[in-house]
Amino acid sequence: MRIKIAMAIILGLMVFSKDVFARDIPRDSTATEEVQPTLKKSWFESIQLRGYAQLRYNRLLETNPDLSCDQCDKSWGDNGGFFFRRIRMIFYGQIHERVYFYIQPDFASGGSNFAQIRDAYFDLGLDQKQEFRLRIGQSKVPFGFENLQSSQNRIPLDRNDGLNSAVANERDIGVMFYYAPSVIRKRFSYLVSSGLKGSGDYGVFGLGLYNGQTANQPDKNNSLHVVSRLTYPFELPSGQIIETSFQGYSGKFVINRNPLTDFDQTEFREYRYGPSFILYPQPFGIQAEFNWGRGPEYDPETNTVNDAPLEGGYVLASYYLQKGKDIFIPFTRYHYYKGGKKHELDATKHRVKELEIGVEWQPHKNFELVAMYTISDRTFEDSLNPDNRQKGSLLRLQAQINF
């Protein structure tokens, strides 16, 4: 029923936007005023390019080479070395007054340095101010502030397990509806361009339908996921900005099962919901999110995958310090997760407690260096490794080039 209601809303919005591509009304042929010809840009002249690259090294002061996080960083742990975490090229542009496109391939996917699409969508403006938009294609699922925040802007090296386990690579294929007043769209833009580490413009209200098997994966059932998010960045008289959000999603997910196991069920209903709170670093900042829900999780005692409760989140504290042209952002984050990771083999059971202490240094806008010390206690168990708890610490480094 939820999916039918959401489909009806989106279809209604598309009908409402029937004049999106309407041609201009011809002038009266009897008009006597002189008409000056207007020079319009061709669509390809509106295309722009930007991007960034991240190089990492994770082996300094490492106490346990068996401690790893495949979803976080495939070079973390044994046999890790210098590693391109991301090489992103972003092609984007306003090719029509109501059509915006965005394509982002990554040339370092999976650590093998091969290309893979991350984003490929276009925004269809439903009104003249484009306060109402439809986003069609592969894009981020609007669930969680840090999930929506670009890795180019995020302070810690990886996203937290608690919310990032909801959508691997944060993306999927579908149709999203976003609404935000023009003044708030400008505020969203400012929170990114000013260096305050905003999440970008995903509307004050978002509602969407998507496949549910995560990015670059074919759909494996006949049902869609539905997601919704409500957020608002309040600006106080002092200029301090505080953003609060609430989001949730629901759907059915098909897990990747070890064929040697004796259980047959692969499709599980899942749902999650939770709040976000962001006090932007002006100069002191706090960022906190949590979510609850249910989903598939491997049980090592019975060697089966069960429907189980899950919960997790994080709190991040940071301080924005500028010395001349240099920017320093010391930070610390604690995050926690108890639940399965549906996209990993057998919906791998995870128990995560992790503390990170670090600093980001920006000598100029085109270069950033992050040093982060991680103290971790991770359990990750599936049918191939049913007894696996790893503890340890390490110093991680990342150099980032922006262009």
Q: What's the pLDDT tens digit per position in 274-328?
A: 999 999 999 999 999 999 999 999 999 999 999 999 999 999 999 999 999 999 9
Question: Which amino acid type is present at position 212?
Answer: G
Q: What is the pLDDT of residue 8?
A: 53
The mean per-residue pLDDT over the stretch 62-84 comes to 91
Which string of DSSP letters, residue by residue, matches 336-357? Answer: EEEEEETTSGGGEEEEEEEEEE
Q: What's the pLDDT tens digit per position in 114-155?
A: 889 999 999 999 999 999 999 999 999 999 999 999 999 999
Q: What's the pLDDT tens digit per position in 182-233?
A: 999 999 999 999 999 999 999 999 999 999 999 999 999 999 999 999 999 9
DSSP run (H or E) holding 265: none
DSSP run (H or E) holding 257: none
- Would you say 340 and 310 are in contact if contact means Cβ atoms under 8 Å apart? yes
Beta strands per DSSP E along 97-215:
99-109, 114-125, 132-140, 171-179, 205-210
* pTM for this entry: 0.88
213-247 residues labelled b (16+ CB within 10 A) or e (exposed): bbbebeebeebbbbbbbebebeeeeeeebebebeb
Rounded CA-CA distance 360/180 in Å is: 31
Q: Report how many helices (DSSP H) and strands (DSSP E) the chain contains, helices first.
A: 4, 17
Q: What is the pLDDT of residue 262?
A: 80
Q: What's the pLDDT tens digit per position in 324-356?
A: 999 999 999 999 999 999 999 999 999 999 999
